[in-house]
Amino acid sequence: MATKLRLALLQMNINAGNPERNFEKLQEMAEKAMGGAEKPDVLLFPEMWNTGYALEEIDRLADPNGERTEELLSALSRKHRVNIVGGSIAEKRTDGVYNTILAYDRDGGRIADYSKIHLFRLMAEEKHLKAGEKPGRLTIEGEEAGMMICYDIRFPELARKLALGGAKLLFVPAEWPNPRLHHWRTLLTARAIENQMYVVACNRMGQSGETTFFGHSMVIDPWGEIIAEAGEDETILRAEIDLGLVDEVRSRIPVFEDRRPQLY
């Protein structure tokens, strides 16, 4: 098991309705992230990076069964020997379009998938997307982790369920817009503190229609300290985490042992 992990978060602009450009951009940024002497162990991308929120056209634009995404991310992970938590994509299945994370190990094998459970009514997701039906769990370098997508972080029950299942870190791809930066920062920090886990959140930046996105991807430790945070520009945010700190924090403040779920 690896207690230390180097992370690279691809805070990118997304061209709504243009998968071709988005696939090119993602590949360019992933290749750049793998450059340099200290290569990351894990890459994380933002939410719905293949299509953006072109929901009126999503049935036409979505990746059928995630096949194109699988081809690219599997090849990248195998080429660079890196784990990839592939943000999320619009994935077309026989029963509709899902907002789905696909994750891969260093050999290019798919190790997990997760479809967004909570659909965001303010952007009419429920009219165009199907909701997932299972929590997002994966094992990465021998360590247990969880996956949530954007709006999911407003539901603390989900993060707690993942933590009770052994997750030491939580991956969160997002398209979280202005003006709710305070909510973004506060909710992510709360999920880290209350579950004594790392939270690794990758947000997009740029503009889509009338909506602007502020970036501020971040990595938060189990004490709730922000150890890395991007600004509003397109960038690759890098950080190193030590999962041994999770065990230390959980032993010092034994929240999980002191729970009384029979009362609530």
Nearest CA to 155 out of 190, 197, 196, 204 is that of 190
Joined together, the tokens standing for residue 88 give 């999320």
> What phi, psi does 7 have (nearest 5°)?
-115, 150
**CB atoms near residue 257 (< 10 Å):** 8
| Cα(16)–Cα(5) distance, integer angstroms | 32
| Cα(109)–Cα(122) distance, integer angstroms | 35
For 52-61, b/e burial (b = at least 16 CB within 10 A) is: bbbbeebeeb
CA torsion, points 62, 212, 229, 14, in degrees to nearest 10?
A: 30
**Distance from chain centroid for Cα 129:** 18
Burial, 219: exposed, middle or buried (Cβ in 10 Å; 0-12, 13-18, 19+)?
A: buried
Task: Catalogue the active-site residues.
Answer: 47, 116, 150
Nearest CA to 197 out of 226, 220, 217 is that of 220
Q: At what angle do helices 156-164 and 181-195 cross, to 10 degrees?
A: 30
Burial, 99: exposed, middle or buried (Cβ in 10 Å; 0-12, 13-18, 19+)?
A: buried
